[in-house]
Amino acid sequence: MRRSILIITNIFIFFGSFAQDTLRLSRTEAEALFLKENLLLVAEKMKVSEAEALVQQARLWPNPNLTVDQVNLWATAKQTGGKEVVPPLWGAFGRNRQFGAELEQLIETAGKRRKEIAVEQVGVDKALAGFQELLRGLKLELRHRMTGLQALEQRKVNEEARLLSVRSLSQAYQNQAQQGNVPRNEVARLKALELEISRELREIAGASFELQAGLKQLLKTDPAPVLVITDALEPELSGYRGLSAVRLLEEAERPDLKLAQLEETYYHKLTDLERARSKPDVTLKAQYDRNGNAMLNFFGIGASIDLPLFNRNQGNIQYARINALRAGTLVQQQALNVSTGIIQAWQGLRNALEFYDGIDKSYNNSLDDLLNVYTQNFMNRNISLLEYLDFSDTYRNSKQILIEARKDLREQLEQLNYAVGKDL
């Protein structure tokens, strides 16, 4: 029995320490870990290697073709009259034998090989741009999750301060109610507020766990420890205040726009390749024939070429041309989307900055001081329960507005970086 109790106790100690493990990362450290460990990025990088392998394949010459035929496996005495009709080629090989050999080499014309390399090289550029686009999207998700986690942590601190205040009052009033000094309904109302704050803290914890789960997947970290982002929620604003819409449009480096442009380039180069494919290739031949002609050993050369009478690759050329026109139209649309997105993100940042700058920076600390004052005054019966509860709601709402202002500013900054395509 004692042994079982000891085992159970050790299990609780183990899981208690396990649950309290904390992984503390700055935003810079988290992004460095993300770039190194994220599995989606690792997989996307492999697409670049795949495209480079296709370029390597396109550089290779077609293999020559060797044919050996017309070989007689034996010659009967009836066929040769019992004589040596054909002398051996070397040693005993080739006596009374006939065979032929032909070596062929395909020669691609009209620069087909060079143009195919150019097409596959566009594939490499598209793979690189696709990687950058995936990185841009995942980085925005990572940063939004970190910002959300930081905002929840600040909400948690504020609600814990409220809960501590309410619990101290609730305990004190419960003692006073037992002595008949205060009404029991005030104790019940304080207990209700305590439960309400506890429930909100539970909801904050649930939302935090959800954000942490996504972050840990992005960072490929151990899912057990509690993840804490150590930076301040307030972003550094010095590099953003002097931005103009014209400058942002000039500095844009959007991989999705580059992908659209590369799609157009791809079909232009494919059009060139399909036109080159309409030109027939030449096959050069070298032949040897043993005892199959007037000569015992016949050596000859030749060439073959397709006659482009019916199939001049018209359909594939038209397909590539139409897709090039279509891709060009989509490039214009994507360029418009980029400009619109940048202007929208810039205006969103300006609005967030304007609201943030209008907040008195000392207001946050004054709220904490006022909470202590109201708690003490209510305990001393200088204010009513209604006044205390009203300020408690004011404290909660004001703190939430301040947190949302900082969070919104951080998210608008990251949205602008996302819209421009790089960190400003």
- Point out which residues pair with 100 in neighbouring strands: 69, 289
> 55 in a domain, yes or no?
yes
Among candidate residues 297, 312, 327, the one where a domain is terminated: 312
Domain total of the chain: 2
Residues 297 and 386 in one domain: no
Residues 72 and 193 in one domain: no
Residue-wise pLDDT for 243-296, tens only, equals: 888 999 998 999 999 999 999 999 999 999 999 999 999 999 999 888 777 677
> 16 in a domain, yes or no?
no
Residue where the block lists tokens 């073709």: 65
- Is there a contact between 395 and 371 (Cβ–Cβ < 8 Å)? yes
- What distance, in Å, lies between the first and last C-alpha atoms of the chain? 66
Residue-wise pLDDT for 112-124, tens only, equals: 999 999 999 999 9
Burial code (b: 16+ CB inside 10 Å, e: under 16) for 151-163 equals bbbbbbebbebbb
Q: What is the pLDDT of residue 1?
A: 40
Here the CATH number for the domain that contains residue 30 is: 1.20.1600.10
Among candidate residues 312, 328, 360, the one where a domain is terminated: 312
Residues 299 and 363 in one domain: no
Residues 262 and 303 in one domain: no
Q: Rounded to an integer, what distance in angstroms lies between the CA atom of residue 179 and that of residue 117?
A: 92
- Is there a contact between 375 and 168 (Cβ–Cβ < 8 Å)? yes
Residues 30 and 179 in one domain: yes
- Is there a contact between 254 and 75 (Cβ–Cβ < 8 Å)? no
Q: What is the pLDDT of residue 77?
A: 64
Q: What is the pLDDT of residue 76?
A: 67
Cβ neighbours, 10 Å, residue 337: 14
> 234 in a domain, yes or no?
yes
Secondary structure of residue 116 in the 3-state scheme: helix
Q: What is the pLDDT of residue 30?
A: 93
Smallest CA-to-CA distance from 380 within 168, 178, 188 is with 168
Q: What is the pLDDT of residue 89?
A: 72
> 12 in a domain, yes or no?
no
Domain enclosing residue 207, as ranges: 21-62+108-278+313-420
Residues 75 and 134 in one domain: no
Residues 74 and 168 in one domain: no
Among candidate residues 265, 297, 312, the one where a domain is terminated: 312
Secondary structure of residue 227 in the 3-state scheme: strand
Q: Rounded to an integer, what distance in angstroms lies between the CA atom of residue 223 and that of residue 214?
A: 10
Q: Rounded to an integer, what distance in angstroms lies between the CA atom of residue 287 and that of residue 298?
A: 8
Q: What is the pLDDT of residue 362?
A: 86
Q: What is the pLDDT of residue 85?
A: 66
> 333 in a domain, yes or no?
yes
Residues 143 and 248 in one domain: yes
> 8 in a domain, yes or no?
no
Residue where the block lists tokens 């949302």: 404
Distances (CA, A) of 119 to 56, 265, 368: 12, 9, 65
Q: What is the pLDDT of residue 7?
A: 39
- Is there a contact between 407 and 223 (Cβ–Cβ < 8 Å)? no
Residues 353 and 205 in one domain: yes
Pairing status of strand 99-107 against strand 65-69: antiparallel
Residue-wise pLDDT for 58-94, tens only, equals: 999 999 999 998 877 766 666 666 666 677 777 666 6
Cβ neighbours, 10 Å, residue 22: 8
Which element (helix H / strand E) includes 243?
Answer: none
Residues 267 and 369 in one domain: yes
pTM above 0.85, yes or no: no
Residues 223 and 292 in one domain: no
Residues 239 and 360 in one domain: yes
> 7 in a domain, yes or no?
no
Tokens of 40: 């989606």
Q: Rounded to an integer, what distance in angstroms lies between the CA atom of residue 95 and that of residue 80?
A: 11
Per-residue pLDDT of the chain (424 residues; tens, 9 = 90+): 444 434 333 433 333 444 458 899 999 999 999 999 888 999 999 999 999 999 999 999 999 999 998 877 766 666 666 666 677 777 666 666 778 899 999 999 999 999 999 999 999 999 999 999 999 999 999 999 999 999 999 999 999 998 998 888 888 888 877 777 777 888 888 899 999 999 999 999 999 999 999 999 999 999 889 999 998 888 888 778 888 889 999 989 999 999 999 999 999 999 999 999 999 999 999 998 887 776 778 888 999 999 989 999 999 999 999 999 999 999 999 999 999 999 999 999 999 999 998 988 888 889 888 988 988 888 888 888 888 889 989 999 999 999 999 999 999 999 999 999 988 8
> 5 in a domain, yes or no?
no
